[in-house]
Every structure is written in C-alpha cells, then in structure tokens.
Homo-oligomer: A and B are copies of this chain.
Amino acid sequence: MLLTLDCADQPGITAQVTTFLFERGCNILDAQQFRDPSSDRFFMRVAFDPAAHGPDDLREAFEALGKSFGMDWSITAQDRARRVIIMVSKFDHCLVDLLYRRRTGELAIDPVAIVSNHPRDVAIHDDIGDIPFHHIPVTTPTKPEAEARLRALAEETGAELIILARYMQIFSDEQSAHFAGRCINIHHSFLPGFKGARPYGQAHERGVKIIGATAHFVTGDLDEGPIIHQDVERISHADSAADLVRKGRDIERRVLAEAVRLFCEERVLLNGKRTVIFRG
C-alpha cells in the first residue's frame, strides 16, 4: 500500500503518521520525508505492508489525521494499474513505447482511451489492440467543444492521468487547470533551453553538444510546468538536424516512460512550480 502526503511543516507529522500505521499493524517497507526549506512544506511517501487492511478502510481511518494537519494525502494500492488516457498527434513513438512497456509489465497503466486530433490511420501506425480510439479534431472555433469532450471522456472512463505523448495541441488555461497535477507532457527539448516548435533545428543551428527532453506537468504555459524528469544525449557536429530528431525521439520516449512510471508509483509530489521526486 502507498501513502503520500504533503502539508505545511510542523514537528510531529512523521511521528503521528507512522504511529497511525504502527497501531494498525502496518509495517513500513520504504519511506521518505522531505521538508522544503524554501516553501516550508513537508512531503512524505510511505510504502507499507497493510497487514489485513484494505485501502478504503485505511482511508476512512486516516481522514481525521489528514484534516488536522491540513494535508493533501492519498492512500492507494501498490502496483494497481492506473487508468490513463494517451493523447497523440502524428508521432506515435511515445505511444508505442508506453504500450510496449505496459505489455511487458514495466508500466502499471490501463489505457482507457487513446485520443488524437488526427484520424486513426494518420495518428497511429501500430496495433493498439482493443483500446478505444477517439478522434477529437481541434480547430480554433471547435477548441472549447473539443476540450469539453476530453473532460467528459476523462470523467466517463475514470482516467487518473492524461499523457500527452507528443500531442501537439496546446491546452487552454481552463483545460490545464482542470487537469492540474494529473496531465504529463513530454517536451521535445531540454528545457529551459530551446522552447517552441522546432528545438532540434535550433539546437543544430546553435551547435550544441548535448540535446535532451523534459517531462513535466501541464500548466497554462505549455513549456513551464513543474518538471518531473529530464535526460540528455551527446551529439556531434556530424549530426544533421534529422539525426537530432532520431536521437531526440529515443530520449523522448525514455523520459516520458520514466515520468509515467514515477507518477504511477506515487513518487511525484507537487511543490508549487517544482516537484519532489521520491525515487527510493
């Protein structure tokens, strides 16, 4: 079982939370606590053996303690597959990678829908099995309606996470706010470097020696959400812009998959414009 929480810092949080677990016969397997000195906020993640308890049981019992500290908290079964909606535009390498890792058991995700602003045969060139595909086109006048459809779909399917797997449409501020903390985007660039639409072209022109990718939560500003994971690759003068795209694709799918894994394992806690990542 997993317990995560964050709240304004004060002495005694860990003592009271772990005493709560101890009194119910739960045994801690792996836990981390962190106080951010700049925000004076406390973060905690506990993986524990729940003994005979189920999540509902523990949630009800934890309610009062959570309230007394003003916590954001969750108790959830470990290794439970998270219901996710995966969104793509025309590049499906991240989608294919996520589905492959799901099939091998690396990622505990349950894709309840795949959504694209393009038709099925344009968006995806691979077998997606029996995962429902939804074509939700987006044009300037239809954007509000398209966003409403996504929200409805998320509602119906009980989606816990929206994965923008190279989805090239920018969410409105309302949409970003609606999915705050449960929508991950892969930015095909090592932020805060080359923003915008063609970072590999810019990287090539500038002659950089390293490129990277960034997975982050979506906020109103597409390129500025709290960063979850980043990685880089070395390049050389002999790499053409096309080579950078190839190398970049590999980083993108690796970085996105890692960010999704961290999220599904409840290792990502929001800390204002930043994140606390409990890697264990």
Q: Which residues, 11 to 35 on A, are CB-close (under 8 Å) to B?
A: 11-16, 18-19, 21-22, 25-35
Q: Which residues of B contact A277 (CB under 8 A)?
A: 209, 236-237
Q: Distance in Å from the Cβ of A203 to the closest Cβ of chain B?
A: 9
Q: Which residue on chain B has the smallest CB distance to residue A237?
A: B276
A200-250 interface (Cβ within 8 A of B): 205-210, 212, 226-232, 236-238, 240, 246, 249-250
Could you say how many copies of this chain the assembly holds?
4
Consensus secondary structure, chain A interface: mixed
Tell me the minimal C-beta distance from A240 to chain B in angstroms.
7
Interface residues on A, range: 35 or more
Tell which of A55-63, A66-74, A155-163, A267-275 binds the partner: A267-275
CB contact list, A24-57 vs B, under 8 A: 25-37, 42
Nearest chain B CB to A17's CB is how many angstroms away?
9
Q: Which residue of B lies closest to A20 (CB)?
A: B15
A254 to B250 alpha-carbon distance, docked (Å): 9
A174 within 8 A of B: no
Stretch binding the partner chain, chosen from A81-89, A141-149, A178-186, A187-195: A187-195
Residue A106 at the chain B interface, CB threshold 8 Å:
yes
1/0 contact string of A103-138 vs chain B (CB within 8 Å)? 110100000000000000000011100000000000
Do A30 and B238 touch across chains, with their CB atoms under 8 A apart?
yes
Nearest Cβ on chain B to A10's Cβ, whole angstroms: 8
